Structure 1
């Protein structure tokens, strides 16, 4: 149903690991694009998914990070006993530069396994369907909405089709509005002819190895508004000071104080998730855990919000 897309950075993998039970219980399947050479963190995340009786998708030809030029080690990693222990689907990422021959070769590495195709800019749909033959209907197809129009998607009428939308608008933190639309796919994916939907959580599709100095600190919390047909929005809580990169801990406290003020008004549609409770504890303790941890809590809150929506 829900397919959150993670890059294999430390705190994204920790998010999967710490929320493996919630993901499994909700029927959510994380997509992971490994971007770091060291695979220990990925292994720990997948072990947690296994222990929770969950499922996962791992991209074997990443576009970003340390394996962008050669994903053979990822293939070996996935085939090295993992698929016997966990409900794991190897995924082929179909970017613009991927040839039909390479796509078929990668699918052939997992001839008897439940392969996922992630359509992300690849244009020659008819040639790929011809090359894959009958097997194309046996694969799960995930379409990045910004890269795959409806005409392209018509070539792939498999049993499982997922539409993935990047609802997070990347910009300088200081330029975020207080509230903006995030997505309605959790409501409308079936109307799009899909069996599931996905997003890039509160991180977005843009990839960078590391961020520069933060002039403004932001906390991004998503919420579903029942007064607007259950559409999802994101609330950006910003620090007051935004002119220099100094004092990130103090700026985090400012953004956190703004968040607590809105939550304590009593009329906010933002759910009091476990992640929000941890934000409250950080506020009470006056503790700054680092920006990676803040992103992890925001991602956890997003997962919890969608889990609660489908539970209700």
Structure 2
């Protein structure tokens, strides 16, 4: 099973919302993880849409970024108001140094919730003690343990029941400026091929966004479109399509057209036909610039489709 990890920003949520109706035969292959960053109308409508399609998902109740950091009750109120009696989701809890110190209040808080939900997903962003693991396992219905490998040791995952283990890591190689991606291609991962062999029931990643979070927006000098694909050896890679006229921040639509021309030409050459790529082709044909947020949405959609249709 695939666990794409998104922050609850507008176009990340819209990507999940748009995708959930496109893969009725693949719903059991994915369980998105949503770390809400604000109590927005998009968050509420996206949760309702996921529930309407009976998609399993995970909602972080102790986010580490955004407006809802340290405000878990707001998230619980959103779940209560918008999911009614829907049960096919997990409450997700980030386990790090801070939350490990707060288990004496966090566990009773979860136990006291008047919600229908499937169980709890623990996201291990740091290693905790064996005693804490035993306390969590005995107190809560832990369905999944997502082990963030870049932040834990390789042997840490052995502390958990095999039927709960999910590997998580950030495979997107982020560069400081969009222009730095010009004519570049990045390796991503092969987890989709080996996670079961390595003793996990699922695997997760931060898609083509990466784990780094920023809530500030600015006009870029260059427009970059990040497109995942599987190469001839079965490895997931990311092809970066970047505009050429990158001297200033003017004419963002023109910069998009430059990057889009490269993407469509390459996808035609490679015979790639995901839903997102077909939308990119339509945008080129119409000469339409949909906004930078839509580019992120389509990149996310392409990556998730690529993974779930190959596991």
Q: TM-score, normalised by structure 1?
A: 0.90
Structure-2 change in CA distance of 1:137 and 1:78 (3 Å): closer
Summarize the alignment of residues 1-312 of structure 1 with structure 2, pairs less than 5 Å apart: 1-22=1-22, 25-26=25-26, 27=28, 28-38=30-40, 40-80=41-81, 82=83, 84-98=85-99, 99=101, 100-109=103-112, 113-121=118-126, 123-135=127-139, 138-157=142-161, 159-171=163-175, 172-176=177-181, 178-225=184-231, 227-228=232-233, 230-264=234-268, 266=269, 268=270, 271-310=272-311
Report the alpha carbon displacement of residue 134 of structure 1 after superposing the two structures with TM. Answer: 3.2
Measured after TM superposition, the shift of residue 97 of structure 1 is 2.0
Q: Quick one: distance in 2 between partners of 1:237 and 1:106?
A: 46
Separation (CA, whole Å) in 1 of partners of 2:144 and 2:276: 31
Contact 2:223–2:242 (Cα < 8 Å) also in 1: yes
Against the structure 1 CA distance between its residues 83 and 114, is the aligned structure 2 distance closer, same or farther, given a 3 Å change threshold? farther
Is the deviation greater in 68-77 or in 128-137? 128-137
Between the aligned partners of 1:115 and 1:184, the Cα distance in structure 2 is 27
Q: Measured at CA, do residues 143 and 22 of structure 1 come closer, stay the same or move farther in structure 2, by a change above 3 Å?
A: farther
Is this contact kept in 2: 1:139–1:158, CA < 8 A?
no
Unaligned runs of 5+ residues in structure 2 are none
Deviation at 1:80, TM superposition (A): 4.5
Cα 1:24–1:33 change in 2 (3 A) is: farther
8 Å CA contact 1:162–1:194 kept in 2: the answer is: yes
Equivalent pair of 2:149/2:167 in contact (CA under 8 Å): yes
Which digits, 9 at most, give the CA deviation of each residue in 1:201-255, with x for residues without a partner? 1111110002322111001110012x22x11000000001222112111100000
Deviation string 1:248-284 (CA, Å, 9 cap, x unpaired) is 11100000011122223x3x2x631111111011111
Higher relative contact order (CA 8 A, sep 6+): 2
Counting matched residue pairs gives 303
**Equivalent pair of 2:44/2:82 in contact (CA under 8 Å):** no
- Secondary structure at the aligned position of 2:208 is classed as coil
Which whole-Å CA distance do the structure 1 matches of 2:49 and 2:141 have between them?
30
Stretches of structure 1 that go unaligned for 5 or more consecutive residues are none
Q: Deviations over 1:177-215 (max 9, x none)?
A: 521101111111123211001111111111000232211
